[in-house]
Amino acid sequence: AMKIIIKFIFLFILVMPIKTFSGEASANSNPVNINVGYMSEYWIRGSFQAASVSYINANYTSGPIYLSAGYSDLRDRQGGASYNEGEAFISLYGSYNFQLMSVPTYIGLAAYRYTDGIDQHYNEISIGADFNKFSVDAVILGDYDTSPSSDYWHFQISVPMGPINYTYGTYSGAWQYVFQEISYSTTINEINLGVNLGRNNDNAMGTSANSNQGTTYGTFSIGYSF
């Protein structure tokens, strides 16, 4: 019964009008933000997605409500002959942001979709809080849409150090691995530049799960927001 309720919630996310946002907009700022860009490689929480990825994200904020949608072209994903051109990753996310004992906190819902059979679908309920010196994010219930479906949980802690950010994350349930990332971002003439260095204790791609084979990676990204 719980999974039926959860899937109904995510169905609502999919069919509701999508306007997306990033951050808390002031009364004088534009609540809509669109970002287009390119990544040398696309990794999500220590899991490889594809090389040479172009993307577009749109986000929208209204008071405590935060909505976002993203599309990433994964046609250069390297996975052998079983992967076809035209693959894509679509993400839909919404959160409600509030103060809990003066700590910025959120509750979020997410739906991740792949095209052309790259992977199964994912649905998530998440919570998080920003304690200024560090922030925590947790997927308290993740639904990996296999047959039968598999549950997973995710936890990560991020420590901002000026333009550099350190992240430590773990997975349990359907996957079990740990990853660490150090990222750097800056903006030059309205162009967003980023570098990300990471390592996990598994290849985190599903082909040899829980092998404990260390994997390191480095990526470069460039984007423009308007």
Tens of pLDDT along 144-189? Answer: 876 666 788 999 999 999 889 999 999 888 778 899 999 999 999 8
Q: What is the DSSP code (8-state) at residue 106?
A: E
The alpha carbon of 24 is separated from its chain's Cα centroid by a whole number of angstroms, namely: 19
Please name which of 67, 84, 57 lies closest in space to residue 19, comparing C-alpha atoms. 67
* 70 against 51, higher pLDDT: 70
Report CA-CA distances (Å) from 211 to 36, 178, 208.
35, 12, 6
Q: Does the model's pTM come out above 0.85?
A: no
